[in-house]
Structure 1
Amino acid sequence: MNDPAPPSPFEQGGAPQTPASRLVSDQSPDDTVLPFAVEPLDVRGRVVRLGVSIDRILAQHNYPPPVARLVGEAVTLTVLLGSALKIEGRFQLQTRSDGAVDMLVVDFDAPDRLRAFARFNQKKLATAAGAELLGKGHLAFTVDSGAEAARYQGIVALEGQGFEEAAHQYFQQSEQIPTRVRLAVAENMTGSGTHWRAGGLLVQFLPKSHERRGRIDLDPGDAPDGLRVEPPPEDEAWTEAKALAATIEDHELVDPTLSSERLLYRLFHEQGVKVFDSRAVRNSCRCSNERITGMLRGFTPQERKDMIGDNGKIGVTCEFCSTYREYDPADFD
């Protein structure tokens, strides 16, 4: 039998009351998350549009274009998932793999702070393409809501797939919430030069009845050879929602002249779509002199001595924002 699923930190529950019906807004603010619901299809989701925030994150590191696009996708996915949390705390996406980009970390501090960095191998990057950027390893989603709450972590194996497919596999295997994700990253030419943009769409099937989600029974582990558990038939409402979400083009997700509301209207106007209050996000690092000083005090005198550079100072560069700071070793004696 299908047991009730435990609450998931990635499941968007009830939303605030929506205003009365009105015309679709063509205002297109960047760095926002717009929640929505398509009630006839029992669908909820979010649209993310990133402009200045993702451009600053990528500019801080001057990544090669393939790495920049991968970081942009990871940041967009992090905002899509992290913005659903109803708690104070931190949501983190992290990869470790044997690919050209062997580590990637994105932090989302509720309610709106965002930072990211990636580590890559220049030699591998020169010959890598597509799936080889991430390679094989794992993708972890971590929710840390503070000392008084249990830490949540979900992991999905990386086997050459991208972030979209990895997210689909995670929700299917771990959360068992029918979910579809679309991600897009692009460089836009403007009068002031080239700037990065990113956009994403998350759609989840959340009917009131858990049975309608079509949850798949777990393999008991001792089933007779040849026994195959067939998944239940897919709900027609979810089939329609998936088909509509699949029609979205990459350029629509990153088009600065196409508002999030207009995009949702294009997809779901026949069924009717409700939007709720949008939320802003921003690029902001947690590093500070106080944090770094505290970290340095945690090292032994010999370890600090080994950190001293030719100029007699201890130099520290933040991996996330690339800010460089210098400290006098005598301050720690």
Structure 2
Amino acid sequence: MTAPSAPPSAALDSVLPYAVPSLDLRGRVVRLGPALDAILARHAYPTPVARLLAEAIALTSLLGTALKFEGRFVLQTRTDGPVSMLIVDFQTPDGLRAYASFDAEAVEAAIAQGSATPADLLGRGHLAMTIDQGGDMNRYQGVVALDHTGLEEVAHVWFQQSEQIPTKVRLAVAEELTRLPGGGTRHAWRAGGLLAQFLPESEDRRRARDLHPGDAPEGTDLPEVADDDAWTEAEALVATIEDLELTDPEVSAERLLFRLFHERGARVFEPQTLVERCRCSRERVEDMLGQFTAEQVEDMTVDGAIVVTCEFCSTKYTFDPATVRPPAA
């Protein structure tokens, strides 16, 4: 890979796959801009909540774009923290939607106390990652515990437990303020991330360190698996990434990869564009309402109408209760 001098092929709202053959390394770089802005602007989240959801969107983009079939990748958290739930829904090949559920007073208190880091906002609970191929295909779900940990850390645990592939993830979020010619400023959210995985052809080299079996007798000697030199080098290089390098619009994904791996040689592949896209529709909401009983429909009626708001895109759908057809008894 030579130093990029032309405009980057992988601009904002895209994922760039790459490989470093000399290190048996493969991965992806994500850079988010307008699509992220559109998702966050609909809900006017407090800044720490917006940052946390942006991290989750970046992580989901890195993982979801690895799917080689039509389907969905869903990241969801349920915790006891001020942000009780995050949901990011990726629909192949390029669709993103997301929202956060939070306690406004608890978030405000956390900000006032200086304890509004992602780990603080999440608290304790779990994170689930679900791969849904649709139709009659089985769904795959991996669940890991959250215990005042951030998304980067929990992503590493998820890969260690579910896929046992040595993996390193970096995530970053930034706010961009631009002065306008006529005065004032324009605010924009930016997020970026890098995923690196050690995938040698040799099975022996691919083994990660064994997880400690919880039911092993005390004092049991567990086999040691030394880190591969290539993976040790890759980890060290990824650790040098600064947040600004992942979010600065002037630092393309190609340039970042060149900075990291120019001595080893990196190959880049066709970038995957990302778009903000909700799948809600009036027809889908109407079908959903048709699953409720007449009594439930009556309970949902306020001032002679049923109003349903999509949690993802905030679109409001209004229905006349008389047109809702509950299922036959």
TM, length-normalised to structure 2: 0.91
Residues 1:162 and 2:162 are matched in the alignment? no
The Cα of 1:157 is off from its aligned counterpart by 0.4
Quote the residue 1:151 is aligned against.
Answer: 139
Distance 2:301 2:213 in 1: 57
Quote the residue 1:323 is aligned against.
Answer: 315
Q: 1:186 aligns with which of 174, 179, 198?
A: 174
Distance 1:219 1:45 in 2: 27
Partners of 1:95 and 1:102 within 8 A in 2:
yes
For residue 249 of structure 2, give the secondary structure of its aligned residue in structure 1.
coil
Quote the residue 1:106 is aligned against.
Answer: 88
Quote the residue 2:160 is aligned against.
Answer: 172
Q: What percentage of aligned pairs have identical amino acids?
A: 58
The Cα offsets for residues 271-300 of structure 1, whole Å up to 9 and x where unpaired, read as: 000000001010000100010000011111
The Cα offsets for residues 67-96 of structure 1, whole Å up to 9 and x where unpaired, read as: 000000000000000100111100000000
The Cα offsets for residues 186-216 of structure 1, whole Å up to 9 and x where unpaired, read as: 1101236101111000000000112102334
The Cα offsets for residues 97-152 of structure 1, whole Å up to 9 and x where unpaired, read as: 00010011000000000000000011221232222200000000000001232110
Distance 1:270 1:227 in 2: 42
The Cα of 1:222 is off from its aligned counterpart by 5.9
The Cα offsets for residues 32-59 of structure 1, whole Å up to 9 and x where unpaired, read as: 0000000000000000000000000000
Quote the residue 1:60 is aligned against.
Answer: 42
Distance 1:251 1:235 in 2: 29
Quote the residue 1:135 is aligned against.
Answer: 123
Residues 1:85 and 2:85 are matched in the alignment? no
Distance 1:236 1:22 in 2: 25
Partners of 1:44 and 1:205 within 8 A in 2:
yes
Cα distance change of structure 1 residues 245 and 23 upon mapping to structure 2, 3 Å threshold: closer
Distance 1:108 1:233 in 2: 36
Q: Could you tell me which runs of 5 or more consecutive residues in structure 2 were left unpaired when the two chains were aligned.
A: none
Distance 1:76 1:295 in 2: 30
Partners of 1:265 and 1:273 within 8 A in 2:
yes
Residues 1:314 and 2:306 are matched in the alignment? yes
| CA RMSD of superposed structures (Å) | 1.5
The Cα of 1:175 is off from its aligned counterpart by 1.3
What amino acid is the match of 1:63?
Y
For residue 311 of structure 2, give the secondary structure of its aligned residue in structure 1.
coil
Quote the residue 2:99 is aligned against.
Answer: 117
Residues 1:97 and 2:69 are matched in the alignment? no
Cα distance change of structure 1 residues 250 and 217 upon mapping to structure 2, 3 Å threshold: closer
What amino acid is the match of 2:95?
R
Cα distance change of structure 1 residues 221 and 135 upon mapping to structure 2, 3 Å threshold: closer
Quote the residue 1:332 is aligned against.
Answer: 324
The Cα offsets for residues 285-325 of structure 1, whole Å up to 9 and x where unpaired, read as: 01000100000111111111111112x11001000001111
For residue 161 of structure 1, give the secondary structure of its aligned residue in structure 2.
coil
For residue 99 of structure 1, give the secondary structure of its aligned residue in structure 2.
coil
Cα distance change of structure 1 residues 283 and 41 upon mapping to structure 2, 3 Å threshold: same
Cα distance change of structure 1 residues 261 and 325 upon mapping to structure 2, 3 Å threshold: same
What amino acid is the match of 1:330?
A
What amino acid is the match of 1:280?
T
Cα distance change of structure 1 residues 45 and 63 upon mapping to structure 2, 3 Å threshold: same
Distance 2:174 2:71 in 1: 30
Q: Could you tell me which runs of 5 or more consecutive residues in structure 1 were left unpaired when the two chains were aligned.
A: 1-20
Cα distance change of structure 1 residues 208 and 306 upon mapping to structure 2, 3 Å threshold: same
Q: Which moved more, 1:285-294 or 1:216-225?
A: 216-225
Cα distance change of structure 1 residues 326 and 223 upon mapping to structure 2, 3 Å threshold: closer
Quote the residue 1:287 is aligned against.
Answer: 280
Partners of 2:165 and 2:207 within 8 A in 1:
no
Partners of 1:32 and 1:280 within 8 A in 2:
yes
Q: Give the length in aligned residue pairs.
A: 312
Distance 2:213 2:107 in 1: 42
The Cα of 1:218 is off from its aligned counterpart by 5.6
Cα distance change of structure 1 residues 199 and 221 upon mapping to structure 2, 3 Å threshold: closer
Cα distance change of structure 1 residues 222 and 137 upon mapping to structure 2, 3 Å threshold: closer
For residue 34 of structure 1, give the secondary structure of its aligned residue in structure 2.
strand
The Cα of 1:225 is off from its aligned counterpart by 2.8
Matches within 5 A, 1:269-280: 269-280=262-273
Partners of 1:177 and 1:213 within 8 A in 2:
yes
Distance 1:97 1:164 in 2: 17
